[in-house]
Amino acid sequence: MAAYLIRRLGYGLMTVLGVLLLLFVLFFTVTDPDDIARKAVGERARPEVYAQWKKNHGYDRPLLVNRAYAASDRRRYTDTLLFDHYRRMLSFDFGNSDADDSSISRRLKEGMGPSLSLTVPLFVFGLVLGVLLALFVAFFRETYIDRAALVVCMLTMSIAGLLYIISGQYLIGMLLKWFPISGFAFEPWLAARFLALPLLVGIVSGMGADVRLYRTIFVEEINRDYVRTARAKGCGEARVMLAHVLRNALIPILTNIVITIPFLFTGALLLESFFGIPGLGSLTVEAIHGNDFSTLRTMVYLGALLFIAGQILTDISYALADPRVRLS
C-alpha cells in the first residue's frame, strides 16, 4: 500500500508541475508580459510608467535565463519568470491582481464563503434529489413513467444553462416575486433568501443529466445476480431497491461525484455572476472582463489542484477497497 501511495502522490505532483508548465506557456509566452502590461496601463502610457508597472508586478525578469548574472551564478536560472512562477504558485503566494493591485489571496479568502454557501447546498441537494428521482425512475423501468422521465431528461439536458438562469430570474424573481432576483448578504437568514433562487435554478439545470446517469447505474445493478438472490430469499421490491441496489450503486455514483467537486467550483461561475453573489465565480468573471491575468492564472491553478487532489483521493479509496489496483 505504501508503495502505491508514494507512486500515486508522485504522479500527482508531476501532474501539478505539468499544469504549471502549461500555465507558464499560456500566460508568459502565448500572451507575453508586454501584452499584459500594455493592457493594464494602456497603449499610450509613457515608457517609464510601463517599465514601473512591469517591475511592480514582477514581470520585468527574463523568461528562462537571466543573462545579467554570470554563468556560475545560481541566480542566472532562479531570477527568472519561469522559476518565480513555480516558486510562487507552489508556495501559494499569488501576489497582486493585475487589474487593481489588490491581494489575490485576500480576495480568494473573501470569496470562499459566499461560493461555498452556494455550491455545497447545490451539491448536497442536487445529489440527494437526483438519486431519489433516479431510484424512482429505475423502480418503474420499462414502463411509461420511465419512458416519459427519459424524454424529460433529454429535453432538460438540451437547454443552455444561460436560459435556465434567465428564465428562472424572470419567472420566479420578476413575475412571481418569491425571491429577490439577485444579491447577497452575510447574515444566514438573509443569505438563505438570496440563495434560494440560484440554488433552485442550479439544481433544475443539472437534474436531467444526473437522473439519466444514476438511472443507468441503478438499472445495471438491478440486473446483477445478488438482486435475484435477494428476491429469491423473499425481500420485497422496496427493500431490494433501498437496501441492496442503492447501497451497491453508491460506489459508482460516488466516483462520478468526486470528479465533479472541482467543477462545482467553476460551475458556479454563471450562477454567481448572474445572481450577484460575491464568490470565486464572480471573481473569475471580473478577471475576464478586467484582463486580470494574474487572478485568472491563480483560479486555473487552484481548479486544477482541487481536481488532482480529488482524483488522488478517489484512487486511494479504490486501492483500499480493491487490492488488485495496488498491485498493477
Count of CB atoms within 10 A of residue 42's CB? 10
CB 15 within 8 A of CB 267: no
Q: With respect to another protein, which residue has the nearer C-beta, 88 or 141?
A: 141
Which distant-in-sequence residues (6+ apart) come within 8 Å of 51 by Cβ? 60
The single residue among 126, 267, 278, 279 that binds another protein, judged by CB under 8 A, is 267
* Calpha distance 307→257 (Å, rounded): 12
Judged by CB under 8 A, does residue 269 bind another protein? yes
Q: With respect to another protein, which residue has the nearer C-beta, 192 or 204?
A: 204
**Terminal Cα distance for the chain, rounded:** 12
Place of cell 517599465: 51
The single residue among 1, 120, 288, 313 that binds another protein, judged by CB under 8 A, is 288
Of 42-50, 63-71, 73-81, 286-294, the window that binds another protein (rule: CB under 8 A) is 286-294
The CB-of-100 to another protein minimum distance in angstroms stands at: 17
Of 1-9, 53-61, 91-99, 160-168, the window that binds another protein (rule: CB under 8 A) is 160-168
Task: For residue 103, list its beta bridge partners.
Answer: 96
Of 137-156, which residues contact another protein (CB under 8 A)? 141-142, 154-155
Measured in degrees and rounded to the nearest 5, phi and psi for residue 96 equal -110, 160
Cell for 49? 510608467
- Tell me whether residue 11 is exposed, middle or buried, using C-beta atoms within 10 angstroms of its C-beta: 0 to 12, 13 to 18, 19 or more: middle
The single residue among 27, 123, 194, 214 that binds another protein, judged by CB under 8 A, is 27
Q: With respect to another protein, which residue has the nearer C-beta, 139 or 265?
A: 265
Of 88-117, which residues contact another protein (CB under 8 A)? none
Task: For residue 96, list its beta bridge partners.
Answer: 103
Judged by CB under 8 A, does residue 26 bind another protein? yes
Among candidates 257, 184, 190, 252, which has minimal Cα distance to 224?
Answer: 252
Of 14-22, 67-75, 86-94, 122-130, the window that binds another protein (rule: CB under 8 A) is 14-22
Residue 181's Cβ-side half-sphere holds a number of Cα atoms within 13 Å equal to 10
Which residues contact another protein by CB under 8 A? 11, 14-15, 18-19, 21-23, 26-27, 30-31, 141-142, 154-155, 157-163, 166, 170, 174, 216, 219, 223, 262-263, 265-267, 269-270, 284-285, 288-289, 291, 293, 296-297, 299-300, 303-304, 307-308, 311
